[in-house]
Amino acid sequence: MGLLKKLTNVMTFGYLLVLDKKVPDDLARVKRLQNKKIHRLMKRAYEIPFYRKRFEENHLTPDDFHCSEDLVKFPVLTKDELRVWMKELYDQNPETRDSWDETSTSGSTGVPLRLYQSQREHAFANANWIRILMTLGYNPFFGRMVSFESSYRKEKKSRDSFIQRFGILQRRILSERRCVGDETAKVIQELNEYAPDLICLRKNCIVRIALYAQEHNLKIRQPKWYIPVSEMVDEMTQKILKKTFGPGLVDAYGSDETGSCIIKAPGKDYYDICNDTHVVNIYDDQGRLADNGKVILTPLYKTDFPIINYDIGDMASSFTKEGIRFITKIHGRLNDMVKHEKGESTSVLELRKIPNGITGIAQFRYVQDSYHDLRVELVRDPKDTTYTNEEIDRFFRKRLQELYGDEFRIEIRWLDVIPPDPNGKLRCFVCNIKE
């Protein structure tokens, strides 16, 4: 495995050399490159039994696919279907599976999904993430980065390596378990001493650091860029983070399954897509291409373990220019649903909008414990006293009354901090009703 790791690092560097290091202006060239990769991917997928069956059931061949618009003909891939296929591959390939790269999703919406990819795909995903950082202006060789501890790898040693002492590939891993209580003060001190150019942490962790700094009047040396990952960054979170970390907020979007592919740089009012490595389509309720609807992802570099037309479970708004798509807003998860006693379910999107109607809140979460009990967990913004707790309480109850009438008993609970889920994420809606 040590040799495989070294080969992966070499391949990562090789792929990094051929990827664009800035968002290209020549959209026609990008479209041609994307079209070529789509056809190549579908030819490869046709050789794989799982996908061959999907082709044949829909009377399709690889010659039916030459552009992103053609992918609408192909069936959507669900998380459950991907889970079954991954397990089948593992069970059927005992002689080669030890060479695969294995990861797992956090399981924030259910059972964690165990994923497999080739070392080549792993290297390409790494290279694509590095080049995303480079499009911002970050220098991966001489820049300083602080990033989060992976849930499926051991934390690296705290001391710099030999080459890092010369200012090359400097990177510190921050254990999120430290960002609790007064230990956070030590974390802030270390951040100020290290003075990173880039901070990349899970959203719930970087928000906790920001809130602690604001509450205790601690200054944090502002990095050039900071990226909250693993969760959607809502408008309220943006305001909290910018108070502490400054204007360098980067909103990056992707998944463990598909890699990162959508990026919003500081100062932009839209998201760029890595169209040379991914297809991001938007489908309406009838499965047609649209400007608003479900996000459907296809990573073009995954030709060993393809993931085609993956329903990631989020909704977004977009526009297209010269056949290239740009995202204007990511609305969040489609499959977070409020459950009602008579069997129907309704979207939580309206619940997410409520906190944006009033100031003084730093974090929020809704917890549905039964068909008639809805708990609202809130954390104060320590620097905004425009409204009292009682006024915010009345505001939430009024808006929830407008949405649901008298269907729910509403409990408003004020907390010092909302703890993350065991998987490290912090969902804004949790339903505890068992099916």
Model confidence pLDDT, tens digit, residues 142-162: 899 999 876 444 444 455 554
Confidence band, pLDDT 50/70/90 cuts, at residue 177? confident
pLDDT for res 5: 60
Rounded mean pLDDT, 272-295: 95
For residues 133 and 226, what is the distance between their CA atoms, to the nearest angstrom?
10
pLDDT of 16 over the 80 cut: yes
Rounded mean pLDDT, 297-314: 95
Q: Which helix (H) or strand (E) holds 353?
A: helix 349-353
Ranges 32-41, 146-155, 243-252, 341-350: which has the least confidence? 146-155
- The phi and psi torsions of 103 (rounded to 5 degrees) equal -135, 180
For residues 210 and 214, what is the distance between their CA atoms, to the nearest angstrom?
6
Rounded mean pLDDT, 73-92: 94
Mean pLDDT, the chain, as a whole number?
88
> Which is nearest to 363 in space by CA: 380, 350, 384, 343?
380
How do 409-414 and 373-380 pair as beta strands?
Answer: parallel
> Which is nearest to 274 in space by CA: 145, 135, 139?
135
State the helix-helix crossing angle for 183-194 and 203-215, rounded to 10 degrees. 100
Q: What is the torsional sign of CA 97, 101, 153, 159?
A: positive
pLDDT digits (tens, 9 = 90+) for 256-265: 899 999 999 9
Six-digit token pair at 223? 């990095």
For residues 94 and 97, what is the distance between their CA atoms, to the nearest angstrom?
6
Tell me the HSE value of 132 on the side-chain side, using a 13 A CA sphere: 31
pLDDT of 227 over the 70 cut: yes
- The phi and psi torsions of 431 (rounded to 5 degrees) equal -110, 120
Rounded mean pLDDT, 238-261: 92
Which residues have C-beta within 8 Å of that of residue 24, sequence separation ≥ 6? 30, 276
Tell me the HSE value of 117 on the side-chain side, using a 13 A CA sphere: 23
Bridge partners (DSSP) listed for residue 332: 315
pTM score, whole prediction: 0.81
